[in-house]
A = this chain, B = another copy of it.
Amino acid sequence: MGKRTAPRSPRRTDGLTRERIIQSATELLDGGGEGALTLRALTRRLSTGYGAIYHHVADKDDLLAAATDDVLTRVLSGAVAGPDPRETLRGLVLGLFDAIDAHPWVGAELSRQPWRPALLDFYERVAQLLDALAVPESARFDAAGTLMNYVLGVAAQNAANARHLADSNTDRSTFLDAAAAQWAQVNPSRYPFVHAAVTRLREHDDREQFLAGVDIFLTGIAAL
């Protein structure tokens, strides 16, 4: 005679959509890093159950990929094409850099899934701008791939840095101080260059260093 089933939460009136789920997932990721996206946390945030979520989303990978595509699409649509292809290219990759700076989990996901359709658009734009830079067709494949690999490498690096920052609960300057202190302790005779780099490490700007790398590649590409 006792209640055989627990009282059930009232059914939601507003429909759950894929978009709303992806948006909530993005908020979780932005707020607490890659580890913060769990289905349990998502059900809590959306006040729903697993079934409802899995009705709109295939699995967690699908969700993470969709959130990544979302960010990437915004980057692409925000990139403006100017008269100078070199400047346009720099702006394009810088847009990706900034997006990953704002959403570090995107960097980690891109290096895990480098063949998403949204990256195809990126590849296309890069190749198109290389064409405008008079890179011969024979070298465009290698050049575009190399540039993309560099950008993705920086993306992963930034994602890793952000992860460590979040774990240690410190701000950027103390993090750099700790890294510099660690580097400063290495044997200067065995690691002369690393030791000398300590000074630069503390005053360097990730964004500028990224652009410096892009320029190195563009200079090398121009010689092809």
Contact = CB atoms under 8 A, between A and B. Distances in A.
Interface of A: 108, 111-115, 120-121, 123-124, 127-128, 131, 137, 140-146, 148-157, 160, 163-164, 179, 183, 186, 190-194, 196-197, 200-201, 204, 209, 212-213, 215-221, 223-224
A194 B149 contact: no
A67 B21 CA distance: 38
A193 B111 contact: no
A14 B169 CA distance: 42
A124 B191 contact: yes
A222 to B, nearest CB: 8
Contacts of A137: 196
B141 A146 contact: no
Contact of A186 (B120, B156, B196): B120
Nearest to A113: B160
